[in-house]
Amino acid sequence: MRNWKPVGLVLVASLALTNPSFAAGNDSVVGKWRTPSKHGVVELGRCGESVCGRLVDSDGLKTNPDLRDGNNKDATKRTRKIKGLQIVGGFKAKGNEWVEGQIYNPEDGGTYKATITPSGANSLKLKGCIVWPLCKTQTWTRIP
């Protein structure tokens, strides 16, 4: 009887080398994260081969659970609710990072190019840029 374990390991290694989203193993960013401003909570999850995130809580939502996207640059979107709004998405896996994504900031209605880099089991760095080098990096902390 043949032992198939080595073949399985070779198959897994092969997938990791040929499929960037598999290689990234970036499910490490999946979960709820506290942002450093206004006690925001963003829930990141898999969206196909990418990750996306929705705003689930913030100081503004605690004050007004019906808060709307009033600062959106697109006037047709200003009546949509902020709670549950997808604000992060469009990323591609690259090594242990998620790159070429976007983050939407409801406070100013702007959408920015973004990169997510895990920086430990319970933190990640999210960098948003108007254009490089005009970038800002935030550290998000995992919520257990």
Q: What is the pLDDT of residues 12-63, one digit of tens each?
A: 333 333 344 344 456 889 999 999 989 999 999 999 999 999 999 999 999 9
Give the mean model confidence (pLDDT) for residues 102-117.
96
Question: What's phi and psi for 90, nearest 5 deg?
Answer: 80, 20
For 120, residues 6+ apart whose C-beta sits below 8 A from its C-beta are none
User: Is 106 in a helix, a strand, or coil?
Assistant: coil
Is this structure's pTM higher than 0.85? no
For residues 19 and 96, give the distance between their C-alpha atoms in angstroms, rounded to a whole number.
13
Residue 30 CA to its chain's centroid (Å)? 8
For 56, the token pair is 């689930």
